[in-house]
A = this chain, B = another copy of it.
């Protein structure tokens, strides 16, 4: 089924997502940047980095997971009013191809908005020259958190 377009509860959603992303120190450690912020969709870019590889010289599956987890979580946060946070309860990732490529783009989209629970779908696309391939697909469950100052935004 085609999904309805989503709308952000807060017109300053992009600013809030960018500010929160900037506080995720692991993103700087990996070299990941925020590529796109729309209501219900967030994209994160990561160039290939030898320091992030597993034993075969590909990006470690956990690194791929890290960027698509943030993309899925921020896709959910983009829909929230100010002062409300999100927490990833769980996710599943299928690895469709080795983490091989010059750069990776993680795309997270909310497929089920909700007042207390949201579901996001994610995809990581690797680019090598002209060639694109889907490296991983994620299904994530995200809890909406109110009245918890420790997990704001």
Contact = CB atoms under 8 A, between A and B. Distances in A.
Interface in A56-110: 56, 59-63, 65-67, 69-70, 87-96
A137 B137 contact: no
A26 B1 contact: no
Main SS of the interface on chain A?
A: mixed
A56 to B, nearest CB: 6
Contact of A24 (B1, B54, B91, B134): B54
Interface string A11-41: 0000000001101111011000000000000
A52 B69 contact: no
A125 interface: yes
Interface residues of A, number: 53
A123 B1 contact: yes
A91 B93 contact: yes
A120 to B, nearest CB: 10
B95 A24 contact: no
A143 B116 contact: yes
Given A26-B53, A92-B92, 15 more contacts: A1-B125, A25-B51, A26-B54, A60-B66, A62-B62, A62-B65, A62-B70, A65-B69, A87-B95, A89-B94, A90-B90, A91-B93, A94-B112, A94-B119, A121-B137
